[in-house]
């Protein structure tokens, strides 16, 4: 194995009826004024908001609420939330929602220390200072509840870029899988696809890292099995809870140990899609682009790609593994071509230009603009 450093400071409370502990967890660390960030209001229909509010009240924590975080979270809303955080002099940020809410909370937590938070995204340097972040997770997908990374879209410049750093890791994250049982099927599927994509971003760089590779294979098989169960029985708590924990493990550092930080080319290709076509969910873009990237890339590490096909998808060739993956995605209701998400051949030049803004993507191999175009065309 290659040398690596593993560090994850996030405390996770996992299981049924854990959400009511959020107030005491914040109070124990000495914080008194929080900015509660949320999305469109679903937490008011599933009981989460009521539980969180009562927990904060009992812990004597002052709350300012900020609503309206949308999928593919935008810089504009982040800036508005930063203004609120500064005006109310909050000393912590509480994200109640899924990855978009958590990523926005991280950007706000860092942004209070910048004249303009977008300069942090442009600098691409580790974030060293941020307000403490707490999370009540309502959708397992991005793994943002247990890592130090966030992605935000600058709509005015069509840029969907990340920030990262140790200061962005949540202090405490609460994961109660039971509150996810009534999610729309599309969101559950997107969570599974996102989780598989995170695992694959690391996996294909594998060579001698047997422990990490075997862990990733097990997690991928778990996600596939759980999604197959939930497709037929959305209320199955065993499948729901195992999917939730797999999602966290996929991007909390465990799955990437000794794998050189991962590849992330496919994520960059997808970021161009959802930056230019903002109604496309991140995971939907990944469902389309990962098979295309694998077809273009497998000869760079053929033994590892073949191992993936055999051990994850029970296939004898890489191509058959890709086809088996796409068959599962299609059965679950995920898109498998660019056409499925409304993107046409004429849109590819703009997508390529967007991808190349930060240079050649990829770690397994560096893709030129021509290579990027070829991968997009494989996804048509």
CATH number of the CATH domain containing 137: 3.40.50.1970
- pLDDT reported for residue 231: 95
Q: How confident is the model at residue 41 (pLDDT cuts 50, 70, 90)?
A: confident
Q: Give percent of the chain with pLDDT exceeding 70.
A: 100
Q: What is the CATH number of the domain that holds 294?
A: 1.20.1090.10
What number is the average pLDDT over the span 42-59? 97
Q: What's the rounded mean pLDDT across residues 135-139?
A: 98
Instruction: Give the pTM.
Output: 0.97
Mean pLDDT calculated for residue range 50-76: 97
174 and 117, same structural domain? yes
Q: Where are the alpha helices (DSSP H) in 233-345?
A: 237-250, 265-276, 282-297, 302-313, 318-332
Same domain, 301 and 356: yes
Q: Is residue 3 part of a domain?
A: no
Q: Do 152 and 33 belong to one domain? A: yes
- Let me know if residue 128 belongs to a domain: yes
Residue 103 in contact with residue 96, Cβ under 8 Å?
no
Residue 378 pLDDT grade (very low, low, confident, very high; cuts 50, 70, 90): very high
Residues 201 and 267 in one domain: yes
Question: Are 28 and 169 part of one and the same domain?
Answer: yes
The confidence score (pLDDT) of residue 293 equals: 98
Domain-embedded: residue 37: yes
Q: Is the domain of 167 the same as that of 213?
A: no
218, part of any domain: yes
pLDDT digits (tens, 9 = 90+) for 239-298: 999 999 999 999 999 999 999 999 999 999 999 999 999 999 999 999 999 999 999 999
Domain boundary among 156, 178, 200: 178
Confidence of residue 188 (pLDDT cuts 50, 70, 90): very high
pLDDT range class, residue 366, cuts 50, 70, 90: very high
Domain boundary among 178, 199, 219: 178
Task: Report pLDDT for 273.
Answer: 98
Contacts (Cβ under 8 Å, ≥6 apart) of 108: 35, 37, 78, 81, 82, 85, 93, 117, 131
DSSP 289-309: HHHHHHHHHGGGSHHHHHHHH
Q: Do 197 and 318 belong to one domain?
A: yes
CB burial readout 282-309, b (16+ within 10 A) else e = bbbbbbbbbbbbbbbbbeebeebbbbbb
Q: Is 168 exposed, middle or buried (0-12, 13-18, 19+ CB in 10 A)?
A: buried
pLDDT band at 329; cut points 50, 70, 90: very high
Clarify whether residues 159 and 18 are in a common domain: yes
Q: Find the mean pLDDT for residues 124-141.
A: 97
Domain hosting residue 33, numbered range: 11-178
Residues 92 and 122 in one domain: yes
Count structural domains, the chain: 2
φ, ψ for residue 137, nearest 5 deg: -85, 135
With left for phi above 0 and alpha for psi between -120 and 50, is residue 232 left, alpha or beta? alpha
Mapping DSSP to helix (H, G, I), strand (E, B) and coil, where does residue 111 land? helix
Could you say which of 178, 196, 227 is where a domain stops? 178
pLDDT of residue 161: 97
Q: Strand 62-66 to strand 33-37: parallel, antiparallel, or no bridges (unpaired)?
A: parallel
Whether 44 is covered by a domain: the verdict is yes
Q: Is 37 helix (H, G, I), strand (E, B) or coil?
A: strand
What 8-state DSSP symbol labels residue 367?
A: P
Helix (H, G, I), strand (E, B) or coil at 62: strand
Which of 188, 363, 197, 338 is closest to 276 using CA atoms?
338
The answer on pLDDT for 181 being more than 90 is yes
Mean of all residue pLDDT scores within the chain: 97
In a domain, 6, yes or no: no
Cβ pair 36, 94 in contact under 8 A: yes
Residue 380 and residue 377: Cα distance in Å, rounded?
Answer: 5
Q: Is residue 57 part of a domain?
A: yes
- In the prediction, which pLDDT does 1 show? 92
Q: Which pLDDT score is estimated for 154?
A: 97
Domain-embedded: residue 234 = yes
User: 227 and 169: one domain?
Assistant: no
Same domain, 15 and 150: yes
Closest-CA residue to 109 (of 88, 89, 93): 93
Q: Is the pLDDT of residue 130 over 90?
A: yes
Task: Note the pLDDT of residue 168.
Answer: 98
Q: Are residues 119 and 170 located together in one domain of the fold? A: yes
Residues in CB range of 365: below 8 A, 6 or more apart: 297, 300
């Amino acid at each position: 194995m290659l040398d690596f450093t593993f560090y994850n400071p996030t405390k996770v409370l996992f299981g049924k009826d854990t959400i009511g502990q959020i107030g005491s967890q914040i109070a124990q660390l000495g914080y008194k004024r929080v900015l509660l960030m949320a999305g469109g209001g679903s937490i008011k229909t599933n009981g989460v908001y009521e539980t969180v509010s009562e927990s904060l009240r009992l812990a004597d924590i002052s709350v300012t609420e900020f609503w309206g975080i949308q999928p593919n979270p935008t810089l504009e809303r982040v800036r508005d939330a930063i203004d609120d955080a500064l005006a109310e002099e909050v000393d912590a940020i509480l994200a109640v929602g899924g990855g978009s809410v958590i990523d926005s909370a991280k950007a706000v937590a860092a942004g209070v220390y910048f004249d303009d938070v977008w300069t942090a995204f442009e600098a691409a340097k580790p974030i060293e200072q941020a307000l403490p972040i707490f999370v009540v997770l309502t959708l397992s997908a991005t793994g943002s509840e247990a890592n130090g990374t966030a992605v935000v879209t600058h709509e005015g410049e069509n840029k969907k870029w990340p920030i990262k750093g140790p200061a962005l890791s949540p202090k405490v994250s609460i994961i109660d899988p039971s509150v996810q049982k009534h999610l729309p099927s599309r969101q559950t599927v997107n969570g599974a696809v996102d989780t598989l994509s995170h695992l694959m971003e690391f996996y294909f760089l594998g060579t001698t890292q047997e422990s990490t590779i075997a862990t990733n294979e097990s997690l991928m098989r778990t996600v596939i099995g759980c999604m197959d169960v939930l497709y037929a029985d959305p209320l199955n708590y065993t499948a729901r809870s195992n999917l939730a924990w797999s999602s966290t493990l996929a991007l909390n550092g465990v799955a990437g140990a000794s794998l050189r930080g991962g590849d992330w080319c496919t994520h960059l290709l997808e970021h161009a899609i959802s930056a230019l076509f903002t109604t496309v969910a991140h995971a939907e873009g990944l469902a389309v682009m990962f098979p295309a990237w694998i077809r273009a890339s497998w000869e760079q590490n053929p033994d590892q790609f073949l191992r993936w096909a055999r051990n994850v998808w029970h296939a004898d060739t890489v191509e058959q593994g890709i086809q088996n993956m796409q068959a599962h995605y299609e059965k679950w209701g995920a898109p498998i071509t660019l056409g499925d998400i409304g993107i046409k051949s004429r849109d590819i030049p703009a997508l390529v230009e967007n991808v190349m803004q930060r240079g050649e993507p990829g770690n397994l191999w560096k893709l030129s603009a021509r290579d990027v175009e070829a991968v997009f065309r494989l996804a048509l």
